Chains A and B, each alone.
Chain A
Amino acid sequence: MSAKQFEAFLARLYVDAGSRARFRSNPLAEAKNAGLSNAESKALENIDWVGLEMASQSFANKRELRRPRSRFSSLTDRLLRVISFLSDRVRRHSGRRGLE
């Protein structure tokens, strides 16, 4: 197996919770199903499980941040900001009047 195929296997683990769950329940079988050699499959037996979950979560957060937002949602965001700004102004104004 080439380094590229090994990286593809890792990429699947990082982005797909199902792949991770299958790998966790039977690492050797999942690695061999993906075409990894015996040596490569063995090397994955000592994987840093805690790190795998943390890295996968961190990558998911990054993907979410980069997800293109629709024109509608960006318009909605702007409207919400305007509404929040105006309601702030109204609240402050009424507060001032209350003090007077």
Chain B
Amino acid sequence: MAGVAAAGAETMNAIYDTVGIGWRPELAAGILDHHARIDLVEVIADDFFGEPRRVRALKTLSAQVPIALHGVIERMAHLVESISPLFWSEHLAFVRADGIEIGHLAAPPRSDATVDGAAENLLRASRIVGVKPFMENIATLIEPPGSALDEASWISKILSASDCDLLLDLHNVFANGLNHGYDPKEFLRQIPAGRIRAIHIAGGKLISAPDGTQRVLDDHLHDVPDPVFDLLEEAAALSLNPLSVILERDGSYPSMESLLAEVSQARQALARGRTRRVERVEVPG
């Protein structure tokens, strides 16, 4: 295990961050070959439902590397019980309504009504699974129609109402900042740092809008851009919690060495942020 202890924090309570990779079948051999260089693996739970052989394989994997589960609520309880993950997580999104399948994560209107609805759903999910999920912010190409709240306030209200912690997707923050004209670092300062427990990093691409402008598509097919590592440093500077950082890659896979280099960059960004936090605590003002 190669967890990151905050540099210069030995005199305080050291914070042990962990950095890992999202499990994908295409990366399985590489992850198993290099598991000593990976602190944790995040598994998409949907791939294991109704697949007892795969669950047995997952149990074997969990003996080697700590596992986090990511995915849908249905049938999550059984998997959580079988695997005992570090945490499980879900998205602050809807994927279908009134029987209409949208095909991917869509942002609900950011309003008090959806805050209440999300809090109720999360309470129900927590009862079913037995453990509260970490909730993840999503990327969106459209400013959610019918919104009365900004994204930071909406997320903060849901976390407070549901008493859930946050899986902060930094590429989504980066993408939404660019797509909807806000400063991602300011966004990080507006959400409750004490709720940040896990972090996703990924890469996307710029796509052209019909009006000639460009927006970021969060496709997980590209390397993590530098601004996302900057945001990781910022999050580590703001948060007191040990953070579990997952590199997400869903295709156009580079070599395992390239992915491990990104894992290493994430560790460095965390260490820089932790050092800044310690300096801020030691030298007030």
Contacts and interface: CB of A to CB of B under 8 A. Distances in A.
B141 A54 contact: yes
B130 interface: no
Nearest to A14: B102
Interface residues of B, number: 32
Interface string A36-60: 0000100110011011111100111
B253 interface: no
B217 interface: yes
Given A14-B106, A59-B103, A8 B97 contact: yes
B100 A11 contact: yes
Please tell me the size bucket of the interface on A: 20 to 34
A15 interface: yes
| Top 10 A-B pairs, shortest CB-CB distance | A51-B142, A8-B98, A63-B103, A62-B104, A11-B97, A7-B97, A8-B97, A11-B100, A62-B103, A55-B142
B44 to A, nearest CB: 13
Nearest to B147: A43
B285 interface: no
A10 B97 contact: yes
A8 B100 contact: yes
Interface in B69-125: 94, 96-98, 100-104, 106, 108-109, 111, 113-114, 117
A50 B101 CA distance: 22
Interface of A: 2-8, 10-15, 40, 43-44, 47-48, 50-55, 58-60, 62-63, 66
Interface of B: 94, 96-98, 100-104, 106, 108-109, 111, 113-114, 117, 140-143, 145-148, 179, 207, 209-211, 213, 215, 217
Contacts of B109: 3, 6-7, 10, 43
Nearest to A3: B113
Looking at B96, B102, B117, B148, the one whose CB has the most chain A CB atoms below 10 A away is B102
6 contacts: A3-B113, A15-B100, A44-B145, A50-B211, A59-B104, A60-B103
B98 A50 contact: no
A43 B146 contact: yes
Given A7-B98, A58-B104, 5 more contacts: A10-B106, A15-B101, A43-B109, A53-B210, A63-B104
A93 B217 CA distance: 43
Contacts of A5: 98
Given A10-B106, A44-B146, A2 B113 contact: yes
Contacts of B98: 4-5, 7-8, 11-12
A72 B29 CA distance: 30
A18 to B, nearest CB: 13
Contacts of B148: 43
B97 A50 contact: no
Contacts of A51: 140-143, 179, 215
A10 B140 CA distance: 14
A51 B147 CA distance: 14
Contact of B96 (A2, A11, A54, A55): A11
Looking at A12, A44, A48, the one whose CB has the most chain B CB atoms below 10 A away is A48
A11 B106 contact: yes
A14 B144 CA distance: 12
A47 B145 CA distance: 6
A52 B142 CA distance: 6
A80 to B, nearest CB: 21
